[in-house]
Structure 1
Amino acid sequence: MADRDRDAEGRARNARPRDALGRPLPREAIGEDRAPEGLVRPPAVALVEAQRLLDAGRPFHAHEVLEDAWKTAPEEERALWRGLAQLAVGLTHAARGNDRGARTLLERGAESIAGYAAAPPHGVDVDGLVAWGRGLAAAPGAGADPAAAAPRLTGSAVRTPGTPGG
């Protein structure tokens, strides 16, 4: 299609504005600021930026940051970053009320990162995130408020779904 949004390399890109949960809005609407796509961020920077977006209730946008990290990560870390992106998308689906999609992505994300539990790269709380993802998959309604349900990506503090700041 001639009117389709394309980037400089000709890849299809949807330039429509989006809401906080990544849903496309009408072209004339004012949407949420989007994380720049295709950036190569050092892992620590990607984790901080993704956490900031999760804490702000913007898991779709956090997913975009984590997806960039997945696509640029060394081969031995790609499943970790893919799994983190899947967890963020799972939270997005939970917040949108798509329980089936939430369950699928949360379980898939938890499974993708579980293999890193013995030696978690970059301080990622693999055990906590696996437990968080599986817990939210069992009760996706607890993700209706994505900021309250957002996990901690690093460290040992994992919030309990549905507990603000907890």
Structure 2
Amino acid sequence: MTGTSETRGPGARDRDAEGRARNARPRDGLGRPLPYGTDGVERQPEGLLRAPGETVAEAQALLDAGRPFHAHEVFEDAWKSGPEDERGLWRGLAQLAVGLTHAARGNVTGGARLLRRGAGAVEEWTAETGRPRPYELDLTEVAGWARGLATLVERGGGPVDAAREAPRLRGGTG
């Protein structure tokens, strides 16, 4: 990644080694950009190929740590690099993580909307494939968690604690 905005010039974009636009600003635990030079949380490497079980385990650890934005990045890697027939599953899980991110940031409307959209996506994927527990994921429980949290967010109107409200992707077994 390139340096700070001062070394890049006004209006320049951060680029990775391949020249793709890639924001180099540090981020907080909920993925919000911080000023250049600020200590942020370690970012998830992008574009990693993980086995599905590794994806689930890494995302769960990030969710448990109150870092749903970063869990979203893990799910996004699986969505973009996984088999075509699983993309709806990983995209739905990424939407759930982003929904939790917005809810934790206090964005009631966006949080509730994305939680419900993600719940619908994993349910749709399950209905289409007939696989309610791929990779030991408890998609019925996860969808119920998302809808319940969406309702809680709408009623409460304020930010939620991302770690306390994190889903159990594999049900009671973590």
Question: Under a length normalisation based on structure 1, what TM-score does the superposition of the two structures give?
Answer: 0.89
Q: Structure 1 pair 74/143, CA: closer, same or farther in 2 (3 Å)?
A: farther
- SS of equivalent to 1:157: helix
Is the 1:136–1:143 contact (alpha carbons within 8 Å) kept by the matching residues of 2? Answer: no
Deviations 1:129-150 (A, max 9, x none): 1100111111124861000000
| Aligned partner of 1:122 among 120, 127, 135 | 135
Deviations 1:99-130 (A, max 9, x none): 00001110110011003164131111100011
Equivalent position of 1:14 in the other structure:
23
| Aligned partner of 2:168 among 146, 152, 160 | 152
Q: Structure 1 pair 4/131, CA: closer, same or farther in 2 (3 Å)?
A: same
Pair 1:72-2:81 in alignment: yes
| Aligned partner of 1:40 among 49, 65, 88 | 49
- SS of equivalent to 2:164: helix
What does 1:63-142 correspond to in 2, within 5 Å? 63-115=72-124, 116=126, 118-119=130-131, 120-140=133-153, 141=156
Aligned length: 158
What is the CA RMSD across the aligned residues, in angstroms?
A: 1.8
Equivalent position of 1:163 in the other structure:
none
- SS of equivalent to 1:69: helix
What is the percent sequence identity of the aligned residues? Answer: 60
Deviation at 1:8, TM superposition (A): 2.3
Q: Structure 1 unaligned runs (5+)?
A: 160-166
Is the 2:107–2:159 contact (alpha carbons within 8 Å) kept by the matching residues of 1? Answer: no
Is the 1:91–1:143 contact (alpha carbons within 8 Å) kept by the matching residues of 2? Answer: no
Deviations 1:53-82 (A, max 9, x none): 000000001100111011011111100000
For 2:67, the aligned partner's letter is R
Higher CA-based Rg: 2
For 1:59, the aligned partner's letter is P
Question: Under a length normalisation based on structure 2, what TM-score does the superposition of the two structures give?
Answer: 0.85
Return the alpha-carbon distance in structure 1 between the equivalents of residues 29 and 38 of structure 2.
13
Q: Structure 2 unaligned runs (5+)?
A: 1-9
Deviation at 1:32, TM superposition (A): 0.3
Return the alpha-carbon distance in structure 2 between the equivalents of residues 24 and 102 of structure 1.
18
